[in-house]
Amino acid sequence: MNYNRRLVCLCGTPPILNISWTNDNHRRRFLDCRHYGPLFRNPCKFFDWNDLKFPSQTNIVILGLLKKINKQEKQLKCRWMKTDFGH
Ligand SMILES: [Zn+2]
């Protein structure tokens, strides 16, 4: 995983890869910013379909990897926050 080559939203945060479960776009992957949505006062508009085609077995493996990466990113963020508070 090369983090330097990942997409970055206008706000500077890397977008999150999500899976759509609606009937129209069943299991289509899309990227959106973590500041996207009605919960934020100034939500980002970053949104993009991510339509690389994979065989379904590969898809399942990738989904598992994505879960792992998301978990690791959360842990990394926590560590950064702790470092910030230490100053
Ligand atoms: Zn953003």
pTM equals 0.41
Under the banding of pLDDT at 50, 70 and 90, the label for residue 52 is: low
Does position 84 have pLDDT exceeding 80, yes or no?
Answer: no
Separation between Cα atoms, residue 35 and residue 9, nearest integer Å: 10
What is the structure's pLDDT at 1? Answer: 46
pLDDT: which is higher, 14 or 58: 14
CA 6 to centroid of ligand 1, rounded, Å: 14
- How confident is the model over 42-62, as a mean pLDDT? 70
CA 55 to centroid of ligand 1, rounded, Å: 30
- How confident is the model over 53-61, as a mean pLDDT? 63
Q: Which helix H or strand E contains 18, and what residues bound it?
A: strand 16-19
> What is the β-pairing status of strands 29-32 and 47-50?
antiparallel
pLDDT in tens, 25-40: 777 888 888 887 777 7
CA 39 to centroid of ligand 1, rounded, Å: 13
